[in-house]
A and B are shown apart, each in its own frame.
Chain A
Amino acid sequence: MKHFTHSAVAIALISALAACGGSGSDSTPAPVPDGTFSFAATEMVTNLTDDVIVAGYSDLATRGATLLASTQTLVATPSQSNLEAVQQAWKAARQPWEQGESHIFGPVDSLGIDPHLDSWPLNTTDLTTVLSTTTGFDAKTIKGWNDDVQGFHTMEYLLFGDGVTTNTKMIADLSDNERDYLMGLAEVFRDYTKNLDDAWLISHDASTGKAYGELIKNPGSDGNTFYSSNVGVVQELINGMIGIVDEVGNGKIADPFGADAASADTSKVESQYSWNSLTDFSNNIIGVRNVYQGELAGSADKQGIVDFVAAADKELAARVGTEIDNAILTIQAIEGSSDMPFRQAISDVEGRKRIQTAVDALSKLQTSLESDVLPLLKTWKV
């Protein structure tokens, strides 16, 4: 089944006629704005790769190493203060991970690191059985086990308890075997966070492939089968922002929130054991702000998606920035004046009002990103 319609020569002639047809007539119409805009994206992509994505993963790897070190200290010297140090190290590692969910593409997905680190919900049935029947845990063995008995939330469960009435666990409630398992989990965690950092800096497949950061920064280059141009990279970054705004508003918050207080379901609350949920959610959107602004909070100003948007529409660029800030603030405000955890707020009358405000802010932001920012790719003169 072959269909032949026209030839290259025919196309070339049509192009040639179009190019040569004018004779400089006085009737040449004045230029009319065509609704397009120009923006050189290379500097922005480089900034976002190096100063946001790779910097974030390097921070995660560093905090992963700290988490392991603090766990080793806890195992060597079980004490309340050492347990609290591991709890803080866990929360510290959680921050760059959650912020990184605004760009959760590439090695974090292809190397299976996301499910290894952040599977939810965890499998308390198997976890309990493992702990009651096994001793002498090592990282290599744990890596071969299912994802739902390792990663952030398994460590969280062991470090903070079940979270139903409190997130404060006493050292007396942490058994020797649980401490040993924690150390194995922390070693696995350290390895995976280092693998992720290496994948962006050294080799995307932990083997012979190029650094993923270089592939992103050099679209269309020889042998780059990942991205053919900066259009794809910018599209990736914007879709990544949309993805996490959608997940926070319509998944992480909406699922446990339910249609009403009666249908609220605490079992669906992520990071419910540590009561870290609201910090997780706001860090997700702070991650969106990092990509939008082009730098991590507190760093010197660099180019980000905001500059791309501003090249087309300065008012839109400012509006989206405000909407991101508002989404973060409304999430943080859910705790109210009494530091109410999210798992309690979903069943509280005033808490539910504050949650609805945050959901509305996220919805507004998502609409702007989908309806106003993403379509700019169509009018971008690359």
Chain B
Amino acid sequence: MASVLCLSACGGSGDENTPVPEEKVYPAYTDITASGGDTTTYDASESGHGFSTPAPNLTAAELALHLDGDLGFETAFTTAPNDAHPELDGLGPVFNNADCNSCHQRDGRNSTPQVAAGETRVKLGSEAGIFLRISKAPDEPCLVGTAANNYCAPIAVPNFGGQLFHRGVLKARNDWEQNKFIGQADVYLSYETKVISYSDGTTVTLKKPLFDVENPYDAPGETKSSANVTSNLLQDDVLMGWRNGMPVFGLGLLEAIPEADIVANVDADDANNDGISGRANYVFDAVKAQAGDSNPVSLGRFGWKANTPSVRVQSLGALRGDIGITNPLFPDESIKGTALHDDYLTRTGFVDTGAGIDGEPEANAEFSDSVVFYAETLAVPARRRVADADVREGARLFEQLNCSGCHTPSFATKASGDIGGTEMIAGHKSQTIYPFSDMLLHDMGEELADGRPDFLADGSEWRTRPLWGIGLTQTVNPQAGFLHDGRAATLEEAILWHGGEAQQSTDDFMALNAVERAQVVDFLMSL
């Protein structure tokens, strides 16, 4: 290629008939490699360790805390009581997984469950990093969060809660001798497919995950189609939506973006008439509530619907929610007060399902703080192949398709201040970062909708996913998929699922020729 350019540039004697190539304009981020500023890692950025490396600008003390958190992130908890390892007990009694790593494999996305040959569906077990969020349908949309309406939080399903736990410790259910290690219900995953055709005849088969929920603990053996359904879980007004584990790296940087810079991109009514709105979610903030704030609400930044305000709330919420490990921020089991929990306590006589025998939460402050710090300080992998001509063309097309209308390329982090009452990490200050997300909610259309509101997010809205590192997703985990439920096996499939506000971009993508479509994917793979 270089030699061709050389001949073109130097060899001619002024042939006026030589066509002048059309000048193409490339966005500034085309050549950027340091996606995470000074936190960027290069030594692992092409391997399965690409998401698992500590930020290189940590101090020695910070690195030690990070490594403690790394250990905690991989710690598998067990049934209480565990006399040999009391520090590890407290799992569940119902849960989705026994450790953080299972839903964030190698700090990336979880594996997408496969339906075995000859089967029509797969039952979720320990391999599954996916689970169902559940809530009751509200009577009317919640528009402004107040104490009276619980800040627009999802309405818990009576006797179940806000998350469906498909796994349990041995005696979680009172019918445990027939249903060992089963949680609140059995959950099955299946797929339906549809074929998308480009104008050049190329086709792509998309698969959409469906769920069946059966055998709830409050009505063993019942299914949705049972006669006279009695289970609280199987009522018609119970909303359910899949959630996958997300990549964990770079979160401290996202947390350090000034709120004003995120809110500046809000365009709720599409005042600029570009077809893209962008709304902020405002959510209950457990850190503020614990500190006695009279209005414990913050901008939502994390979670598929921007339903959590900080890495601390997200991490410790997952520790309590996904694993059933209580901690200083969430000292009560998430299923406290449900019939399953009450019965479990009575039947087993365990005293440490909400607290250890010392009366402290199952995960102490030291453990909790280190896990939060770990999630805040994983390095962002450096971009790769930025000089590749196809990657560069892909960057140009990414702009042309207006993907950057939501996947905002760049932000600068705060120069000072605190995060949730804690002084921000020095290495996160004043960094120019390239997350490719505006951190806002967007209507993504009916096909992706789960119909389940979450604080101010409606049933069709999702937070823009950061794209940094996305090209390493399947290097880190060969069986990982994309989007909130892992339905997209490739980045091309993920693009094709984009509807709603992104429909025009998707249509424009489909209008590209095969080479150009591949260039867009090449660019994404370089991130």
Interface residues, chain A, with chain B CB atoms under 8 Å away: 1-9, 12-13, 15-17, 19-20, 105-107, 109-112, 115-116, 119, 121, 123-126, 129-130, 133-134, 143-148, 204-207, 209, 212, 215, 225-229, 231-233, 235-236, 239, 243, 251, 267, 374-375, 377-378
A2 to B525, alpha carbons, bound, how many Å?
21
A124 to B169, alpha carbons, bound, how many Å?
13
Give every chain A residue within 8 A of B126 (Cβ-Cβ): 112, 115-116, 146-147
Smallest CB separation, B204 vs chain A (Å): 13
Smallest CB separation, A148 vs chain B (Å): 6
Give every chain B residue within 8 A of A231 (Cβ-Cβ): 46
Name 21 interchain pairs, CB-CB below 8 A, sorted by A.
A1-B408, A2-B27, A3-B29, A3-B410, A4-B25, A8-B24, A8-B392, A9-B23, A16-B5, A115-B76, A115-B126, A116-B126, A126-B170, A146-B126, A148-B98, A204-B479, A205-B478, A206-B114, A225-B474, A228-B46, A228-B525
Evaluate contact between A239 and B478: CB separation under 8 angstroms: no
The 10 closest A-B pairs by CB, nearest first: A3-B28, A16-B9, A232-B46, A112-B127, A110-B479, A236-B47, A20-B10, A235-B47, A126-B170, A105-B48
Smallest CB separation, B172 vs chain A (Å): 11
A183 to B473, alpha carbons, bound, how many Å?
38
Evaluate contact between B98 and A226: CB separation under 8 angstroms: no
Q: Determine if B404 is an interface residue (Cβ-Cβ < 8 Å).
A: yes
Q: Determine if B196 is an interface residue (Cβ-Cβ < 8 Å).
A: no
In the complex formed, the residue of B with least CB distance to A207 is: B114
A228 to B526, alpha carbons, bound, how many Å?
10
Evaluate contact between B78 and A123: CB separation under 8 angstroms: yes
Evaluate contact between A147 and B98: CB separation under 8 angstroms: yes
Give every chain B residue within 8 A of A107 (Cβ-Cβ): 478-479
Smallest CB separation, B458 vs chain A (Å): 26
Task: Classify the interface of chain B: helix, strand, loop or mixed.
Answer: loop
From residue 460 to 474 of chain B, which have CB atoms closer than 8 A to chain A? Answer: 471, 473-474
Give every chain B residue within 8 A of A2 (Cβ-Cβ): 27, 399, 404
Using A123-B78, A125-B78 as known contacts, list a sample of 16 further A-B pairs with CB atoms less than 8 Å apart, ordered by residue number in A.
Answer: A1-B410, A4-B28, A8-B24, A8-B26, A17-B9, A110-B480, A115-B126, A206-B114, A215-B478, A225-B490, A226-B474, A226-B478, A228-B385, A231-B46, A239-B48, A377-B43
Give every chain A residue within 8 A of B5 (Cβ-Cβ): 12, 15-16, 19
Evaluate contact between A6 and B26: CB separation under 8 angstroms: yes
Q: Given contacts A125-B82, A144-B181, are A110 and B47 in contact (CB under 8 A)? A: no
In the complex formed, the residue of A with least CB distance to B105 is: A109
Evaluate contact between A232 and B8: CB separation under 8 angstroms: no
Q: Determine if B148 is an interface residue (Cβ-Cβ < 8 Å).
A: no
Smallest CB separation, A369 vs chain B (Å): 11
Number of contacts between A and B (CB, 8 Å)? 180
Give every chain A residue within 8 A of B29 (Cβ-Cβ): 3
Smallest CB separation, B433 vs chain A (Å): 14
Smallest CB separation, B367 vs chain A (Å): 15
Name A229's contact: one of B8, B46, B98, B180 (CB within 8 Å). Answer: B46
Give every chain A residue within 8 A of B105 (Cβ-Cβ): 109-110
A239 to B88, alpha carbons, bound, how many Å?
29
Evaluate contact between B106 and A109: CB separation under 8 angstroms: yes
Name A126's contact: one of B167, B169, B404, B478 (CB within 8 Å). Answer: B169
Q: Determine if B384 is an interface residue (Cβ-Cβ < 8 Å).
A: yes
Q: Determine if B216 is an interface residue (Cβ-Cβ < 8 Å).
A: no
Smallest CB separation, A152 vs chain B (Å): 14
Among A13, A125, A229, the most chain B Cβ lie within 10 Å of the Cβ of: A125
Name B46's contact: one of A225, A235, A243, A251 (CB within 8 Å). Answer: A235
Q: Given contacts A110-B479, A236-B48, are A121 and B78 in contact (CB under 8 A)? A: yes
Smallest CB separation, B128 vs chain A (Å): 9
Evaluate contact between B478 and A115: CB separation under 8 angstroms: no
Smallest CB separation, A305 vs chain B (Å): 14
A13 to B20, alpha carbons, bound, how many Å?
13
Q: Determine if B349 is an interface residue (Cβ-Cβ < 8 Å).
A: no
A68 to B433, alpha carbons, bound, how many Å?
53
Give every chain A residue within 8 A of B480 (Cβ-Cβ): 110
Give every chain A residue within 8 A of B21 (Cβ-Cβ): 9
A144 to B49, alpha carbons, bound, how many Å?
29
Q: Given contacts A5-B26, A9-B21, A121-B84, are A228 and B384 in contact (CB under 8 A)? A: yes
Q: Determine if B6 is an interface residue (Cβ-Cβ < 8 Å).
A: yes
From residue 256 to 314 of chain B, which have CB atoms closer than 8 A to chain A? Answer: none
Evaluate contact between A125 and B79: CB separation under 8 angstroms: yes
Q: Determine if B102 is an interface residue (Cβ-Cβ < 8 Å).
A: yes
Smallest CB separation, B20 vs chain A (Å): 9
Q: Determine if B477 is an interface residue (Cβ-Cβ < 8 Å).
A: yes
Among B125, B385, B491, the most chain A Cβ lie within 10 Å of the Cβ of: B125
Give every chain A residue within 8 A of B139 (Cβ-Cβ): none
Evaluate contact between B23 and A7: CB separation under 8 angstroms: yes
In the complex formed, the residue of B with least CB distance to A127 is: B170
Evaluate contact between B180 and A130: CB separation under 8 angstroms: yes
Q: Determine if B519 is an interface residue (Cβ-Cβ < 8 Å).
A: no
Smallest CB separation, A187 vs chain B (Å): 17
Smallest CB separation, B163 vs chain A (Å): 19
Name A13's contact: one of B9, B409, B525 (CB within 8 Å). Answer: B9
Q: Determine if B503 is an interface residue (Cβ-Cβ < 8 Å).
A: no
